[in-house]
Structure 1
Amino acid sequence: MTLAMIGLLFVAGFLSGAVNAIAGGGTFLTFGALTLAGLPPISANATSSIAQFPGYVTSTLAYRHEIAKMWRGAVVLTIASLLGGLGGALILLALDNPSFRAMVPWLLMAATALFAAGPLLKPKASEERATNSLPSILGQFLTAVYGGFFGAGMGIMMLAVLGLTTGGGYHHLNALKNLLATVIAAMALLVFIGGGVVGWPQAVVMIPAVAAGGWAGVWLARRVPQTIMRVLVVAVGIALTIYYFVTG
Protein backbone atom coordinates (compact mmCIF):
# COMPACT_ATOMS: atom_id res chain seq x y z
CA MET A 1 0.00 0.00 0.00
CA THR A 2 1.16 3.53 -0.76
CA LEU A 3 1.18 6.24 1.88
CA ALA A 4 -1.69 7.95 0.05
CA MET A 5 -3.78 4.76 0.21
CA ILE A 6 -2.96 4.27 3.90
CA GLY A 7 -4.11 7.85 4.48
CA LEU A 8 -7.33 7.24 2.53
CA LEU A 9 -8.13 4.11 4.55
CA PHE A 10 -7.38 5.84 7.85
CA VAL A 11 -9.52 8.88 7.03
CA ALA A 12 -12.37 6.67 5.78
CA GLY A 13 -12.15 4.57 8.94
CA PHE A 14 -12.10 7.64 11.18
CA LEU A 15 -15.09 9.19 9.41
CA SER A 16 -16.89 5.85 9.52
CA GLY A 17 -16.49 5.62 13.28
CA ALA A 18 -17.67 9.21 13.72
CA VAL A 19 -20.67 8.75 11.41
CA ASN A 20 -21.68 5.55 13.22
CA ALA A 21 -21.56 7.37 16.55
CA ILE A 22 -23.77 10.18 15.24
CA ALA A 23 -26.19 8.65 12.75
CA GLY A 24 -25.01 5.20 11.61
CA GLY A 25 -24.09 4.18 8.07
CA GLY A 26 -20.31 4.06 8.42
CA THR A 27 -20.15 0.79 6.47
CA PHE A 28 -20.71 2.75 3.26
CA LEU A 29 -17.43 4.61 3.84
CA THR A 30 -15.28 1.63 4.80
CA PHE A 31 -16.59 -0.61 2.02
CA GLY A 32 -16.13 2.12 -0.57
CA ALA A 33 -12.59 2.95 0.53
CA LEU A 34 -11.55 -0.71 0.58
CA THR A 35 -12.79 -1.25 -2.97
CA LEU A 36 -10.88 1.86 -4.08
CA ALA A 37 -7.84 0.32 -2.39
CA GLY A 38 -8.12 -2.55 -4.85
CA LEU A 39 -9.63 -5.27 -2.69
CA PRO A 40 -12.06 -7.62 -4.46
CA PRO A 41 -15.70 -7.03 -3.41
CA ILE A 42 -15.94 -10.09 -1.14
CA SER A 43 -12.68 -9.24 0.60
CA ALA A 44 -13.70 -5.57 0.92
CA ASN A 45 -16.99 -6.63 2.52
CA ALA A 46 -15.27 -9.00 4.96
CA THR A 47 -12.55 -6.47 5.85
CA SER A 48 -15.15 -3.75 6.40
CA SER A 49 -16.91 -6.08 8.83
CA ILE A 50 -13.63 -6.60 10.71
CA ALA A 51 -13.06 -2.86 10.93
CA GLN A 52 -16.58 -2.17 12.23
CA PHE A 53 -16.64 -4.96 14.83
CA PRO A 54 -15.06 -3.04 17.77
CA GLY A 55 -17.83 -0.47 17.44
CA TYR A 56 -20.47 -3.16 17.90
CA VAL A 57 -18.71 -4.37 21.05
CA THR A 58 -18.38 -0.92 22.63
CA SER A 59 -22.01 -0.09 21.79
CA THR A 60 -23.10 -3.29 23.51
CA LEU A 61 -21.00 -2.52 26.59
CA ALA A 62 -22.60 0.92 26.78
CA TYR A 63 -25.96 -0.83 27.23
CA ARG A 64 -24.66 -3.49 29.63
CA HIS A 65 -27.14 -2.58 32.41
CA GLU A 66 -30.15 -2.84 30.09
CA ILE A 67 -28.84 -6.09 28.59
CA ALA A 68 -28.33 -7.59 32.05
CA LYS A 69 -32.07 -7.20 32.66
CA MET A 70 -33.17 -8.82 29.40
CA TRP A 71 -30.59 -11.44 28.50
CA ARG A 72 -32.73 -14.45 29.49
CA GLY A 73 -35.49 -13.39 27.12
CA ALA A 74 -32.97 -12.70 24.37
CA VAL A 75 -31.40 -16.18 24.35
CA VAL A 76 -33.59 -17.51 21.53
CA LEU A 77 -32.98 -14.38 19.41
CA THR A 78 -29.26 -14.75 20.06
CA ILE A 79 -29.37 -18.31 18.72
CA ALA A 80 -31.35 -17.13 15.68
CA SER A 81 -28.72 -14.43 15.14
CA LEU A 82 -25.87 -16.95 15.32
CA LEU A 83 -27.53 -19.24 12.79
CA GLY A 84 -28.56 -16.39 10.47
CA GLY A 85 -25.15 -14.71 10.62
CA LEU A 86 -23.47 -18.03 9.88
CA GLY A 87 -25.79 -18.69 6.94
CA GLY A 88 -25.33 -15.22 5.45
CA ALA A 89 -21.55 -15.37 5.70
CA LEU A 90 -21.42 -18.85 4.15
CA ILE A 91 -23.65 -17.68 1.28
CA LEU A 92 -21.21 -14.83 0.64
CA LEU A 93 -18.21 -17.17 0.56
CA ALA A 94 -20.07 -19.53 -1.78
CA LEU A 95 -20.18 -16.76 -4.40
CA ASP A 96 -17.30 -15.75 -6.63
CA ASN A 97 -16.23 -12.12 -6.87
CA PRO A 98 -17.91 -11.45 -10.26
CA SER A 99 -21.24 -12.77 -8.94
CA PHE A 100 -21.04 -10.70 -5.77
CA ARG A 101 -19.81 -7.69 -7.75
CA ALA A 102 -22.97 -7.86 -9.85
CA MET A 103 -25.08 -7.77 -6.68
CA VAL A 104 -23.21 -4.91 -4.99
CA PRO A 105 -24.96 -1.92 -6.67
CA TRP A 106 -28.37 -3.42 -5.93
CA LEU A 107 -27.39 -4.12 -2.31
CA LEU A 108 -26.02 -0.58 -1.95
CA MET A 109 -29.16 0.92 -3.49
CA ALA A 110 -31.39 -1.03 -1.09
CA ALA A 111 -29.21 -0.20 1.91
CA THR A 112 -29.10 3.49 0.98
CA ALA A 113 -32.89 3.61 0.63
CA LEU A 114 -33.25 1.82 3.97
CA PHE A 115 -30.86 4.25 5.65
CA ALA A 116 -32.64 7.27 4.14
CA ALA A 117 -35.95 5.93 5.46
CA GLY A 118 -34.43 5.32 8.89
CA PRO A 119 -36.32 8.11 10.72
CA LEU A 120 -39.60 6.71 9.40
CA LEU A 121 -38.66 3.20 10.54
CA LYS A 122 -37.49 4.27 13.99
CA PRO A 123 -39.78 2.42 16.39
CA LYS A 124 -41.90 4.31 18.85
CA ALA A 125 -42.29 3.22 22.42
CA SER A 126 -44.90 0.50 22.72
CA GLU A 127 -45.93 -2.29 25.01
CA GLU A 128 -43.15 -4.83 25.40
CA ARG A 129 -44.03 -8.30 24.13
CA ALA A 130 -42.32 -11.68 24.29
CA THR A 131 -38.97 -11.69 22.50
CA ASN A 132 -39.21 -15.40 21.68
CA SER A 133 -42.40 -15.28 19.60
CA LEU A 134 -42.33 -16.90 16.17
CA PRO A 135 -42.49 -13.55 14.27
CA SER A 136 -39.59 -12.12 16.27
CA ILE A 137 -37.44 -15.26 15.82
CA LEU A 138 -38.12 -15.49 12.08
CA GLY A 139 -37.65 -11.74 11.57
CA GLN A 140 -34.37 -11.76 13.47
CA PHE A 141 -33.10 -14.82 11.60
CA LEU A 142 -33.72 -13.16 8.22
CA THR A 143 -32.13 -9.92 9.39
CA ALA A 144 -29.11 -11.89 10.60
CA VAL A 145 -28.76 -13.61 7.22
CA TYR A 146 -28.61 -10.19 5.58
CA GLY A 147 -26.16 -8.95 8.23
CA GLY A 148 -23.81 -11.88 7.73
CA PHE A 149 -24.01 -11.49 3.95
CA PHE A 150 -23.60 -7.71 3.54
CA GLY A 151 -24.52 -5.76 6.66
CA ALA A 152 -25.00 -2.15 5.49
CA GLY A 153 -28.22 -0.87 7.05
CA MET A 154 -28.52 -3.93 9.29
CA GLY A 155 -28.98 -1.88 12.45
CA ILE A 156 -31.89 0.12 11.06
CA MET A 157 -33.50 -3.03 9.68
CA MET A 158 -33.13 -4.77 13.04
CA LEU A 159 -34.63 -1.86 15.00
CA ALA A 160 -37.63 -1.85 12.69
CA VAL A 161 -38.16 -5.62 12.94
CA LEU A 162 -37.68 -5.73 16.71
CA GLY A 163 -40.02 -2.77 17.14
CA LEU A 164 -42.75 -4.56 15.22
CA THR A 165 -42.31 -7.98 16.81
CA THR A 166 -41.17 -7.35 20.39
CA GLY A 167 -42.16 -3.77 21.22
CA GLY A 168 -40.76 -1.84 24.14
CA GLY A 169 -39.04 1.53 24.53
CA TYR A 170 -36.35 2.76 22.17
CA HIS A 171 -33.42 2.14 24.53
CA HIS A 172 -34.69 -1.37 25.25
CA LEU A 173 -34.80 -2.06 21.50
CA ASN A 174 -31.45 -0.38 20.85
CA ALA A 175 -29.75 -2.39 23.58
CA LEU A 176 -31.18 -5.61 22.16
CA LYS A 177 -30.15 -4.55 18.64
CA ASN A 178 -26.57 -3.88 19.73
CA LEU A 179 -26.30 -7.24 21.45
CA LEU A 180 -27.64 -9.15 18.45
CA ALA A 181 -25.55 -7.14 15.97
CA THR A 182 -22.42 -8.10 17.92
CA VAL A 183 -23.39 -11.77 17.77
CA ILE A 184 -24.08 -11.60 14.02
CA ALA A 185 -20.82 -9.78 13.32
CA ALA A 186 -18.78 -12.17 15.48
CA MET A 187 -20.14 -15.22 13.67
CA ALA A 188 -19.56 -13.64 10.26
CA LEU A 189 -16.00 -12.70 11.22
CA LEU A 190 -15.16 -16.27 12.21
CA VAL A 191 -16.37 -17.45 8.80
CA PHE A 192 -14.52 -14.70 6.93
CA ILE A 193 -11.28 -15.31 8.82
CA GLY A 194 -11.58 -19.06 8.28
CA GLY A 195 -12.25 -18.45 4.59
CA GLY A 196 -9.09 -16.36 4.25
CA VAL A 197 -10.86 -13.41 2.61
CA VAL A 198 -9.85 -10.64 5.05
CA GLY A 199 -7.39 -7.99 3.85
CA TRP A 200 -5.38 -7.78 7.07
CA PRO A 201 -3.02 -4.90 6.13
CA GLN A 202 -6.04 -2.73 5.32
CA ALA A 203 -7.86 -3.89 8.46
CA VAL A 204 -4.88 -3.00 10.66
CA VAL A 205 -5.02 0.57 9.32
CA MET A 206 -8.78 0.91 9.68
CA ILE A 207 -9.48 -0.65 13.09
CA PRO A 208 -7.76 2.03 15.22
CA ALA A 209 -9.11 4.73 12.90
CA VAL A 210 -12.70 3.52 13.38
CA ALA A 211 -12.15 3.37 17.14
CA ALA A 212 -10.74 6.93 17.20
CA GLY A 213 -13.58 8.17 15.00
CA GLY A 214 -16.14 6.60 17.31
CA TRP A 215 -14.60 8.42 20.26
CA ALA A 216 -14.58 11.72 18.38
CA GLY A 217 -18.10 11.07 17.16
CA VAL A 218 -19.44 11.30 20.70
CA TRP A 219 -18.08 14.86 20.85
CA LEU A 220 -19.41 15.68 17.38
CA ALA A 221 -22.81 14.18 18.18
CA ARG A 222 -23.40 17.01 20.64
CA ARG A 223 -22.60 19.66 18.03
CA VAL A 224 -23.47 18.37 14.54
CA PRO A 225 -27.17 17.83 13.68
CA GLN A 226 -27.90 14.20 12.79
CA THR A 227 -29.71 15.39 9.68
CA ILE A 228 -26.46 16.72 8.21
CA MET A 229 -24.62 13.43 8.82
CA ARG A 230 -27.57 11.43 7.47
CA VAL A 231 -27.53 13.49 4.25
CA LEU A 232 -23.77 12.90 3.97
CA VAL A 233 -24.15 9.13 4.35
CA VAL A 234 -27.02 8.99 1.85
CA ALA A 235 -24.92 11.01 -0.63
CA VAL A 236 -22.02 8.56 -0.26
CA GLY A 237 -24.41 5.62 -0.70
CA ILE A 238 -25.88 7.13 -3.87
CA ALA A 239 -22.42 7.89 -5.26
CA LEU A 240 -21.21 4.35 -4.60
CA THR A 241 -24.38 2.89 -6.12
CA ILE A 242 -23.94 4.94 -9.30
CA TYR A 243 -20.22 4.05 -9.43
CA TYR A 244 -20.90 0.30 -9.24
CA PHE A 245 -23.72 0.46 -11.77
CA VAL A 246 -21.58 2.47 -14.23
CA THR A 247 -18.42 0.38 -13.83
CA GLY A 248 -20.29 -2.94 -13.79
Structure 2
Amino acid sequence: MTLISICLLFLAGLLSGMVNAIAGGGTFLTFGAMTLAGLPPITANATSSIVQFPGYITSALAYGHEIRSMWKAAVILGIVSAIGALGGSLILLSLSNPSFRNLVPWLLLAATALFAAGPKLKPKTEKEHPPHNAKGIVSQFLTSIYGGFFGAGMGIMMLASLSIATGGDYHRLNALKNFLSIVIAAIAIIVFTAGGAINWLYAIVMLPGAALGGYSGVWAAKRVPQHILRWLVVAVGLFLAVYYFLK
Protein backbone atom coordinates (compact mmCIF):
# COMPACT_ATOMS: atom_id res chain seq x y z
CA MET A 1 0.00 0.00 0.00
CA THR A 2 1.53 3.33 -1.10
CA LEU A 3 1.46 6.60 0.84
CA ILE A 4 -0.95 8.05 -1.73
CA SER A 5 -3.29 5.07 -1.25
CA ILE A 6 -3.15 5.51 2.53
CA CYS A 7 -4.02 9.22 2.23
CA LEU A 8 -6.89 8.56 -0.18
CA LEU A 9 -8.32 5.79 2.00
CA PHE A 10 -8.08 8.01 5.10
CA LEU A 11 -9.85 10.81 3.19
CA ALA A 12 -12.58 8.40 2.09
CA GLY A 13 -13.07 7.38 5.74
CA LEU A 14 -13.23 11.03 6.86
CA LEU A 15 -15.79 12.02 4.23
CA SER A 16 -17.85 8.89 4.85
CA GLY A 17 -18.07 9.68 8.57
CA MET A 18 -19.25 13.22 7.82
CA VAL A 19 -21.81 12.10 5.24
CA ASN A 20 -23.19 9.37 7.52
CA ALA A 21 -23.62 11.84 10.37
CA ILE A 22 -25.57 14.20 8.16
CA ALA A 23 -27.86 11.84 6.29
CA GLY A 24 -26.22 8.53 5.39
CA GLY A 25 -24.49 7.25 2.29
CA GLY A 26 -20.92 7.16 3.56
CA THR A 27 -20.53 3.49 2.63
CA PHE A 28 -20.62 4.56 -1.03
CA LEU A 29 -17.27 6.22 -0.37
CA THR A 30 -15.57 3.49 1.68
CA PHE A 31 -16.89 0.60 -0.40
CA GLY A 32 -15.95 2.43 -3.59
CA ALA A 33 -12.46 3.34 -2.36
CA MET A 34 -11.67 -0.21 -1.27
CA THR A 35 -13.01 -1.93 -4.38
CA LEU A 36 -11.19 0.51 -6.63
CA ALA A 37 -8.06 -0.31 -4.61
CA GLY A 38 -8.53 -3.98 -5.48
CA LEU A 39 -10.43 -5.60 -2.61
CA PRO A 40 -13.08 -8.23 -3.51
CA PRO A 41 -16.67 -6.89 -3.15
CA ILE A 42 -17.64 -9.00 -0.11
CA THR A 43 -14.42 -8.09 1.72
CA ALA A 44 -14.87 -4.39 0.88
CA ASN A 45 -18.48 -4.46 2.07
CA ALA A 46 -17.61 -6.27 5.30
CA THR A 47 -14.64 -3.99 5.99
CA SER A 48 -16.86 -0.95 5.44
CA SER A 49 -18.91 -2.03 8.46
CA ILE A 50 -15.78 -1.78 10.61
CA VAL A 51 -14.80 1.57 9.10
CA GLN A 52 -18.21 3.15 9.64
CA PHE A 53 -18.55 1.98 13.24
CA PRO A 54 -16.52 4.73 15.04
CA GLY A 55 -18.32 7.40 13.04
CA TYR A 56 -21.69 6.03 14.13
CA ILE A 57 -20.55 6.12 17.76
CA THR A 58 -19.18 9.68 17.67
CA SER A 59 -22.28 10.89 15.82
CA ALA A 60 -24.55 9.25 18.39
CA LEU A 61 -22.54 10.82 21.23
CA ALA A 62 -22.98 14.23 19.63
CA TYR A 63 -26.74 13.53 19.56
CA GLY A 64 -26.74 12.17 23.12
CA HIS A 65 -29.51 14.43 24.43
CA GLU A 66 -31.90 13.54 21.62
CA ILE A 67 -31.28 9.81 22.03
CA ARG A 68 -31.84 9.89 25.80
CA SER A 69 -35.13 11.68 25.26
CA MET A 70 -36.50 8.66 23.35
CA TRP A 71 -34.64 5.82 25.07
CA LYS A 72 -37.62 3.44 25.01
CA ALA A 73 -37.94 3.64 21.23
CA ALA A 74 -34.15 3.29 20.90
CA VAL A 75 -34.14 0.06 22.95
CA ILE A 76 -37.10 -1.55 21.16
CA LEU A 77 -35.92 -0.64 17.66
CA GLY A 78 -32.37 -1.60 18.66
CA ILE A 79 -33.49 -5.16 19.41
CA VAL A 80 -35.40 -5.30 16.12
CA SER A 81 -32.33 -3.98 14.29
CA ALA A 82 -30.04 -6.59 15.83
CA ILE A 83 -32.26 -9.44 14.64
CA GLY A 84 -32.57 -8.03 11.13
CA ALA A 85 -28.84 -7.26 10.82
CA LEU A 86 -27.97 -10.81 11.87
CA GLY A 87 -30.12 -12.21 9.07
CA GLY A 88 -28.75 -9.81 6.47
CA SER A 89 -25.08 -10.40 7.30
CA LEU A 90 -25.52 -14.17 7.27
CA ILE A 91 -27.14 -13.93 3.84
CA LEU A 92 -24.10 -11.98 2.57
CA LEU A 93 -21.63 -14.59 3.82
CA SER A 94 -23.64 -17.34 2.12
CA LEU A 95 -22.86 -15.79 -1.29
CA SER A 96 -19.70 -16.11 -3.34
CA ASN A 97 -17.79 -13.01 -4.48
CA PRO A 98 -18.96 -13.44 -8.13
CA SER A 99 -22.59 -13.76 -7.02
CA PHE A 100 -22.38 -10.68 -4.81
CA ARG A 101 -20.42 -8.86 -7.53
CA ASN A 102 -23.37 -9.33 -9.91
CA LEU A 103 -25.73 -7.79 -7.35
CA VAL A 104 -23.51 -4.79 -6.51
CA PRO A 105 -24.42 -2.41 -9.41
CA TRP A 106 -28.13 -3.03 -8.88
CA LEU A 107 -27.82 -2.49 -5.13
CA LEU A 108 -25.84 0.71 -5.69
CA LEU A 109 -28.34 1.98 -8.24
CA ALA A 110 -31.31 1.26 -5.97
CA ALA A 111 -29.60 2.81 -2.93
CA THR A 112 -28.60 5.89 -4.94
CA ALA A 113 -32.14 6.36 -6.24
CA LEU A 114 -33.54 6.07 -2.71
CA PHE A 115 -30.93 8.50 -1.43
CA ALA A 116 -31.82 11.04 -4.14
CA ALA A 117 -35.53 10.67 -3.42
CA GLY A 118 -35.04 10.92 0.35
CA PRO A 119 -36.42 14.47 0.85
CA LYS A 120 -39.58 13.62 -1.12
CA LEU A 121 -40.25 10.56 1.03
CA LYS A 122 -40.95 12.63 4.14
CA PRO A 123 -44.59 12.71 5.28
CA LYS A 124 -46.65 15.80 4.52
CA THR A 125 -47.66 16.15 8.16
CA GLU A 126 -45.33 17.11 10.98
CA LYS A 127 -47.46 15.26 13.52
CA GLU A 128 -45.21 12.92 15.53
CA HIS A 129 -45.93 9.32 16.46
CA PRO A 130 -43.81 7.05 18.67
CA PRO A 131 -40.91 5.67 16.56
CA HIS A 132 -41.59 2.15 17.90
CA ASN A 133 -45.13 1.91 16.52
CA ALA A 134 -46.04 -1.10 14.35
CA LYS A 135 -45.12 0.63 11.09
CA GLY A 136 -41.80 1.77 12.54
CA ILE A 137 -40.92 -1.72 13.83
CA VAL A 138 -41.68 -3.45 10.51
CA SER A 139 -39.86 -0.88 8.39
CA GLN A 140 -36.84 -0.88 10.71
CA PHE A 141 -36.65 -4.68 10.59
CA LEU A 142 -36.56 -4.65 6.78
CA THR A 143 -34.04 -1.81 6.74
CA SER A 144 -31.76 -3.62 9.17
CA ILE A 145 -31.77 -6.76 6.99
CA TYR A 146 -30.61 -4.59 4.11
CA GLY A 147 -28.06 -2.87 6.36
CA GLY A 148 -26.56 -6.16 7.49
CA PHE A 149 -26.36 -7.34 3.89
CA PHE A 150 -25.13 -4.16 2.17
CA GLY A 151 -24.49 -0.94 4.07
CA ALA A 152 -24.60 1.57 1.19
CA GLY A 153 -27.72 3.71 1.48
CA MET A 154 -28.72 2.23 4.85
CA GLY A 155 -28.73 5.60 6.60
CA ILE A 156 -31.01 7.39 4.18
CA MET A 157 -33.25 4.32 4.02
CA MET A 158 -33.60 4.52 7.81
CA LEU A 159 -34.26 8.26 7.76
CA ALA A 160 -36.94 7.78 5.12
CA SER A 161 -38.66 4.85 6.87
CA LEU A 162 -38.51 6.49 10.32
CA SER A 163 -39.82 9.73 8.89
CA ILE A 164 -42.73 8.02 7.17
CA ALA A 165 -43.52 6.00 10.29
CA THR A 166 -43.20 8.78 12.86
CA GLY A 167 -42.99 12.26 11.32
CA GLY A 168 -41.42 14.95 13.43
CA ASP A 169 -38.10 16.73 13.78
CA TYR A 170 -35.21 15.81 11.47
CA HIS A 171 -32.52 15.92 14.14
CA ARG A 172 -34.44 13.55 16.46
CA LEU A 173 -34.82 11.07 13.61
CA ASN A 174 -31.18 11.50 12.61
CA ALA A 175 -30.09 10.86 16.20
CA LEU A 176 -32.15 7.65 16.33
CA LYS A 177 -30.76 6.63 12.93
CA ASN A 178 -27.19 7.03 14.17
CA PHE A 179 -27.90 4.93 17.27
CA LEU A 180 -29.56 2.14 15.29
CA SER A 181 -26.67 2.19 12.82
CA ILE A 182 -24.37 1.29 15.73
CA VAL A 183 -26.47 -1.77 16.51
CA ILE A 184 -26.65 -2.94 12.88
CA ALA A 185 -22.93 -2.40 12.30
CA ALA A 186 -21.99 -4.15 15.57
CA ILE A 187 -23.90 -7.30 14.64
CA ALA A 188 -22.50 -7.26 11.11
CA ILE A 189 -18.95 -6.82 12.42
CA ILE A 190 -19.29 -9.84 14.74
CA VAL A 191 -20.61 -12.02 11.91
CA PHE A 192 -18.09 -10.80 9.34
CA THR A 193 -15.17 -11.17 11.75
CA ALA A 194 -16.22 -14.73 12.57
CA GLY A 195 -16.49 -15.40 8.85
CA GLY A 196 -13.01 -14.02 8.13
CA ALA A 197 -14.38 -11.45 5.67
CA ILE A 198 -12.62 -8.30 6.96
CA ASN A 199 -9.36 -6.81 5.69
CA TRP A 200 -7.92 -5.30 8.87
CA LEU A 201 -5.12 -3.35 7.16
CA TYR A 202 -7.59 -1.28 5.16
CA ALA A 203 -9.83 -0.90 8.20
CA ILE A 204 -6.99 0.44 10.38
CA VAL A 205 -6.07 3.04 7.75
CA MET A 206 -9.64 4.34 7.39
CA LEU A 207 -10.91 4.08 10.99
CA PRO A 208 -9.38 7.33 12.39
CA GLY A 209 -10.80 9.35 9.52
CA ALA A 210 -14.28 7.87 9.95
CA ALA A 211 -14.29 8.64 13.68
CA LEU A 212 -13.22 12.24 13.12
CA GLY A 213 -15.71 12.67 10.31
CA GLY A 214 -18.57 11.24 12.36
CA TYR A 215 -18.22 13.80 15.12
CA SER A 216 -17.56 16.80 12.86
CA GLY A 217 -20.41 15.72 10.61
CA VAL A 218 -23.00 16.48 13.30
CA TRP A 219 -21.60 20.01 13.52
CA ALA A 220 -21.84 20.27 9.72
CA ALA A 221 -25.38 18.85 9.70
CA LYS A 222 -26.58 21.92 11.58
CA ARG A 223 -24.69 24.44 9.41
CA VAL A 224 -23.89 23.19 5.89
CA PRO A 225 -26.64 23.05 3.22
CA GLN A 226 -27.53 19.38 3.07
CA HIS A 227 -28.35 19.39 -0.64
CA ILE A 228 -24.67 19.94 -1.47
CA LEU A 229 -23.48 16.78 0.31
CA ARG A 230 -26.59 14.88 -0.81
CA TRP A 231 -25.84 15.43 -4.49
CA LEU A 232 -22.18 14.66 -3.95
CA VAL A 233 -23.18 11.26 -2.55
CA VAL A 234 -25.62 10.72 -5.44
CA ALA A 235 -22.83 11.46 -7.93
CA VAL A 236 -20.52 8.96 -6.23
CA GLY A 237 -23.25 6.32 -6.14
CA LEU A 238 -24.06 6.74 -9.83
CA PHE A 239 -20.38 6.63 -10.77
CA LEU A 240 -19.88 3.38 -8.86
CA ALA A 241 -23.05 1.82 -10.29
CA VAL A 242 -21.95 2.62 -13.86
CA TYR A 243 -18.43 1.39 -13.07
CA TYR A 244 -19.69 -1.99 -11.88
CA PHE A 245 -22.17 -2.35 -14.74
CA LEU A 246 -19.35 -1.81 -17.24
CA LYS A 247 -16.60 -3.71 -15.42
- TM-score, reference length from structure 1: 0.90
SS at match of 1:145: helix
**Compared with structure 1, are the counterparts of its residues 214 and 83 closer, same or farther at alpha carbon in structure 2 (3 Å cutoff)?**
closer
In structure 2, the residue matched to 1:138 is: 138
Q: Measure the CA separation in 1 of the matches of 2:173 and 2:38.
A: 38
SS at match of 2:72: coil
Deviation at 1:72, TM superposition (A): 2.2
Decide whether the 8 Å contact of 2:115 with 2:153 is kept in 1. Answer: yes
Q: Measure the CA separation in 1 of the matches of 2:166 and 2:220.
A: 32
In structure 2, the residue matched to 1:208 is: 208
Q: Measure the CA separation in 2 of the matches of 1:127 and 1:224.
A: 26
Decide whether the 8 Å contact of 1:124 with 1:170 is kept in 2. Answer: no
In structure 2, the residue matched to 1:2 is: 2
Is residue 2:103 matched to residue 1:103? Answer: yes
Q: Measure the CA separation in 2 of the matches of 1:72 and 1:215.
A: 24
**Structural mapping, 1:221-240, within 5 Å:** 225-240=225-240
- Give 5+ residue unaligned stretches, structure 2: none
**Structural mapping, 1:161-180, within 5 Å:** 161-180=161-180
Amino acid at match of 1:40: P
**Compared with structure 1, are the counterparts of its residues 172 and 12 closer, same or farther at alpha carbon in structure 2 (3 Å cutoff)?**
closer
Deviation at 1:178, TM superposition (A): 1.8
In structure 1, the residue matched to 2:114 is: 114
Decide whether the 8 Å contact of 1:123 with 1:170 is kept in 2. Answer: no
Amino acid at match of 1:178: N
Q: Measure the CA separation in 2 of the matches of 1:197 and 1:209.
A: 21
Deviation at 1:236, TM superposition (A): 1.1
**Compared with structure 1, are the counterparts of its residues 213 and 78 closer, same or farther at alpha carbon in structure 2 (3 Å cutoff)?**
closer
Deviation at 1:18, TM superposition (A): 3.4
SS at match of 1:196: coil
In structure 2, the residue matched to 1:38 is: 38
The more displaced of 119-128 and 131-140 is 119-128
Deviation at 1:238, TM superposition (A): 0.8
Q: Measure the CA separation in 1 of the matches of 2:69 and 2:227.
A: 32
Q: Measure the CA separation in 1 of the matches of 2:205 and 2:11.
A: 10
In structure 2, the residue matched to 1:59 is: 59
- Give 5+ residue unaligned stretches, structure 1: none
Residue by residue over 1:43-72, the C-alpha shift from the partner in whole angstroms, topping out at 9 and shown as x without a partner, is: 000111111111111121122222223222
In structure 2, the residue matched to 1:88 is: 88
Percent of counterpart pairs with the same letter?
67
The more displaced of 45-54 and 170-179 is 170-179
**Structural mapping, 1:182-197, within 5 Å:** 182-197=182-197
Q: Measure the CA separation in 1 of the matches of 2:222 and 2:173.
A: 22
**Compared with structure 1, are the counterparts of its residues 202 and 63 closer, same or farther at alpha carbon in structure 2 (3 Å cutoff)?**
same
Residue by residue over 1:182-209, the C-alpha shift from the partner in whole angstroms, topping out at 9 and shown as x without a partner, is: 1111111111111111110000000012
SS at match of 2:39: coil
The more displaced of 59-68 and 130-139 is 130-139
- TM-score, reference length from structure 2: 0.90
The more displaced of 191-200 and 21-30 is 21-30
The more displaced of 218-227 and 110-119 is 218-227
In structure 2, the residue matched to 1:246 is: 246
Amino acid at match of 1:63: Y
Deviation at 1:151, TM superposition (A): 1.6
Residue by residue over 1:202-223, the C-alpha shift from the partner in whole angstroms, topping out at 9 and shown as x without a partner, is: 0000001222334555676677
Decide whether the 8 Å contact of 2:23 with 2:156 is kept in 1. Answer: no
SS at match of 2:129: coil
In structure 2, the residue matched to 1:11 is: 11
